Structure 1
């Protein structure tokens, strides 16, 4: 009697739903209204903050701190934190924020919370509030601002907001305790106040920057990556903290340094450039999303004309991005690969005699070349898809030509070639297609290994189909479902 371990069943990747890349043109007007509401709300808050600051300056000298002014300063920080958080992209209930979000902007509210912490580390307050009060001001401002951004006060919205801001609240609490409560005989805050201002500012800058990097694991615990593996999401979050973390850290220290000189208006004045930057980045993201939706709409043209099977472009795009992610492609390369995959069959609209069911895997090499060239020409005509056009044009190149240096073939083109062939073999409807299952499709691809297809790409596809991934379970599960 012999015993053998039963291999894991192969999974049909083409069953992956194509939701998430469907075009929804009616969403744009709603997005513009929502963005206008957030900008208007944030502008009103900042205007009120400036008015309160000006009033405080008019009734008290900025270098005089009594109990009344200390409470006014806390109110100023509370209003600014709330205003900044309300201008962030709303958190959708049930889906955590994190590095999977398309835009990378500085959260003005979270930066103001850091400024509140640093202000009580560099500035000598004669009526300094308690540690609990400082943390409470930061927490209330972030949570209320997040709920205003979501335009919902439901329990689900509150849970989503807490997932976004709880890591920052923990960071603020840790910094406040470190500055004010550790070392009963001589707290760190006392040492910073006695040190030269330049030295104190540098020490605080390093502390905050380090705290933001240490915040990454906590953020990952409360976020759920929408695409890719958890390792990808962690790497993106760490990269974001390393590159962008210096901005909120430096801004918080600058507020603390400028506050004794400018008084309460220092907070809104220094944060104002971040607000304008956030508005500009949001506008850029909106334009980018419009362009992406245009690509999605264009990708439906072959399907609408009946020359390609419904959902083929979406499945190839999804599978191509999964393979590219396993191969270590960056964000920009993955985005270009997705767009090119969505448009890879665009050239079929010019065919006089359509390919049966649009399955180009069985088409003659000359026909494949013609489809690729025509699709690239249509993409270039848009004026904004030159990189994608180059990928589309090279998808019909046999891998052996790339190896022999007869004709270069980008990695994205090799990925799309394999993903397209796999979907054709499983969902085509001509000349013996579809094949019985994923293993049969992979076997057919292996017959062209090194000749038509890049062996490395086919190996990655095989690993994904059988649930073996080098980047963790998240991306694999997404492909297998």
Structure 2
């Protein structure tokens, strides 16, 4: 890796720095305000702070370590109990029928203090939450508190909304807007780091909100309403469903992670047998996923693309004599298709979704007959094969060869997307 590439990776985009700085200043200002003026309704603040702290301590410590750029399975909300507790405190107006007056800054201070305290054990194990996740959490809780606390404490909400069904509807609207705020922040941070299109990233985040995000939002609103009527004794009652949900999601994420590791291990069979160079499948998968993001693919399509890219060479195990350097792009078209069909047949026997097998089977077809995912895998594979072993000029030479073959072997839009992806990270030699 060159010094230029290292510097580019270490450089934090301005948008990311702005979000981190904004969250840090807000949290520091809120904590300073509370230290100066003291806690209002100390018992309520400590109860909600303890709830958030327990949620943070119970978080999946590896859930935020996945990287969208690398394609790892990533749990969107690793600490649902902590998130719901902080949201409930932001939406709290009464405690057992008595009005509360804690305000926006105290909400931020209590939540931030609990987040930081809960991160300490994970930090000691080297698995602390990412700064992006922490900044988003502080800013979204502040957003919810700003929408609720000033109106409630000033009495405007009672005049305009009252305390009946419209009050509950108001909380639902605030929860929905808070979820939208969090999705926009998450997409903006990934966009700043990767330069992938904002629209598909936002769509991915909003789709994720339909699962655990909806449970967190609904639980936060219900906890706030329950404490308003029954007092703080309602908190333990509503913690149990979220703890069970967190356990279920943890098990699901573990299964998904194991599933991906199995596919990765299977994909390495060609490398272990000497049919393909070390790291080839992993590089093609990383390039394919980045190109897929750049072209606007999202959700299930990206998963299919990554799995197919990892297993695209598995058909070579049927060959008696390995192809030199595993470079199937240089073989006759008939031989490429035979290997691809054999690979697809192997994939179908592994229990991987049929869509993955289709991509593997069709990667050697004329590109106009291929689905977009197969076009991406074909171009990424050809680039890695062409650039390998060509020295410093290999990446540029490989791109030039791909461009010359567009319209015949490769889709022009895919090749240009590949060029954009490579330019963002520097044109590193394949395998470097």
Q: TM-score range by the shorter chain?
A: 0.7 to 0.9
Q: Aligned partners of 2:295, 2:187: CA distance in 1, in Å? A: 23
2:382 is the counterpart of 1:425: no
2:232 is the counterpart of 1:251: no
Mind listing any 5+ residue stretches in structure 1 that lack a counterpart? 1-10, 17-69, 403-408, 468-475
Once the two structures are superposed, residues 125-165 of structure 1 have per-residue CA deviations (whole angstroms, 9 ceiling, x without a partner) of 26x454355544333323322334445699x8796774353
Tell me if the contact between 1:147 and 1:161 (Cα under 8 Å) persists in the aligned partners. no
Moved over 6 A (4+): 91-101, 156-161, 220-226, 478-481
2:355 corresponding residue in structure 1: 387
Larger Rg: 1
SS in 2 for 1:119: coil
**Post-superposition offset of 1:191:** 3.4
SS in 2 for 1:114: helix
Summarize the Cα distance change of 1:230–1:271 in structure 2 as closer, same or farther, 3 Å threshold: farther
Match of 2:57 among 86, 102, 115: 86
Summarize the Cα distance change of 1:107–1:379 in structure 2 as closer, same or farther, 3 Å threshold: same
**Post-superposition offset of 1:261:** 4.9
Match of 2:342 among 344, 352, 374: 374
Match of 1:457 among 397, 414, 422: 414
Tell me if the contact between 2:399 and 2:419 (Cα under 8 Å) persists in the aligned partners. yes
Q: Aligned partners of 2:351, 2:68: CA distance in 1, in Å? A: 33
Summarize the Cα distance change of 1:313–1:201 in structure 2 as closer, same or farther, 3 Å threshold: same
Match of 1:138 among 99, 104, 111: 111
Tell me if the contact between 2:366 and 2:409 (Cα under 8 Å) persists in the aligned partners. yes
2:273 corresponding residue in structure 1: 305
Summarize the Cα distance change of 1:280–1:415 in structure 2 as closer, same or farther, 3 Å threshold: same
Q: Aligned partners of 1:444, 1:219: CA distance in 2, in Å? A: 37
Summarize the Cα distance change of 1:144–1:328 in structure 2 as closer, same or farther, 3 Å threshold: same
Tell me if the contact between 1:376 and 1:392 (Cα under 8 Å) persists in the aligned partners. yes
**Post-superposition offset of 1:284:** 1.0
Query: What CA RMSD, in Å, does the superposition of the two structures yield over aligned residues?
Result: 4.0
- TM-score of the superposed pair, with normalisation by structure 2: 0.75
Mind listing any 5+ residue stretches in structure 2 that lack a counterpart? 7-40
SS in 2 for 1:357: helix
Q: Aligned partners of 1:100, 1:120: CA distance in 2, in Å? A: 40
2:313 corresponding residue in structure 1: 345
1:416 corresponding residue in structure 2: 377
**Post-superposition offset of 1:444:** 2.8
- TM-score of the superposed pair, with normalisation by structure 1: 0.68
Tell me if the contact between 2:387 and 2:398 (Cα under 8 Å) persists in the aligned partners. yes
SS in 1 for 2:285: helix
2:46 is the counterpart of 1:75: yes
Q: Aligned partners of 2:412, 2:378: CA distance in 1, in Å? A: 12
Match of 1:201 among 168, 171, 195: 168
Q: Aligned partners of 1:111, 1:120: CA distance in 2, in Å? A: 16
Q: Aligned partners of 2:376, 2:189: CA distance in 1, in Å? A: 33
Identify, as 1 or 2, the structure richer in helix. Answer: 2
Mapping of residues 78-477 of structure 1, within 5 Å: 78-90=49-61, 102-105=74-77, 107-120=80-93, 124-125=97-98, 128=100, 130-131=102-103, 133-151=106-124, 162-163=134-135, 165-171=137-143, 173-175=145-147, 177-181=149-153, 183=154, 187-188=155-156, 190-191=158-159, 195-216=162-183, 229=196, 231=198, 233-234=201-202, 236-237=204-205, 240=208, 246-259=214-227, 261-399=229-367, 402=369, 409-427=370-388, 437-465=394-422, 467=423, 476-477=424-425
**Post-superposition offset of 1:103:** 1.3
Q: Aligned partners of 1:72, 1:327: CA distance in 2, in Å? A: 52
**Post-superposition offset of 1:174:** 2.2
Q: Aligned partners of 2:174, 2:51: CA distance in 1, in Å? A: 23
**Post-superposition offset of 1:391:** 1.0
Aligned residue-pair number: 389
